[in-house]
Chain A
Amino acid sequence: MADQVLDAKGLNCPLPILKAKKALKEVPIGGTLQVLATDPGAVKDFEAFCRATGNDLVESKAEGKLFEFLIKRMS
């Protein structure tokens, strides 16, 4: 179970990333944030976001139009 869940469904770029950044602040280091999104661009965006910020993209999966990301806060 993720420490925090962010529902970013229906939101378009750059909101999923911006809201995830904000939500991560509430996640303890080593904890996880689950993000739900419908923006297909978010797939590559979260990969880039995690690479740039040093956070771990533990999981990235798609179920039809729903995308789920699990991010582990590393710092």
Chain B
Amino acid sequence: MGNEANTKRMSMIVTKGSLDWAYPPFILATTAAAMGLEVTMFFTFYGLTLLKKKLDLQVTTLGNPAMEMPMFGMHIGMPNLVSAIPGVDAAATMMMKNLIKKKGVASIEELRTMAIEADVKMIACQMTMDLFEYTKDDMIEGPVLGGAATYIETATKSDINLFI
């Protein structure tokens, strides 16, 4: 499917770990891989949580002024204040997960597995692993450890470089 010289490459820095922010990197990575690109994902800071063995991703209504949930036949915005009420973020997370299932959208676990099957390279930022005291044991099999220089080298060789 296209010789070595024609292969396009994409790299991404993944910095966020909430349920909503987990989708763009995995959707882009799996789709790019399906289209013949060589993909590298560099997980750092809160992106590291996306590499954990057991995923428990959440969304919050705090600081998400554009968040509108389809409810009662309308789109209901979520003011910051409601997130202070106990249970609201958990309810928003549950609502998001139910919507995802109902609309036939892949789960992050599924997308992550597909990414690994598609040979997407995953690098875990050594510094932030150390910062948050994560060990390789906390993470799934597959990702290698690396630092900024590792990412920069990959990026210089990539056609597409994204910061998510």
Interface residues of chain A, those whose CB is within 8 Å of chain B, are: 10-15, 17-18, 20-21, 39, 48-49, 52-54, 75
Contact = CB atoms under 8 A, between A and B. Distances in A.
B2 interface: yes
Contacts of A17: 31, 34-35
B84 interface: no
Contacts, number: 42
Interface residues of B, number: 14
A53 B1 contact: yes
A53 B35 contact: yes
A15 B103 CA distance: 12
B87 interface: no
B140 to A, nearest CB: 19
5 contacts: A10-B104, A12-B104, A12-B105, A13-B31, A53-B36
Report the 3 A-B pairs with minimum CB-CB distance, sorted nearest first.
A52-B35, A21-B34, A10-B104
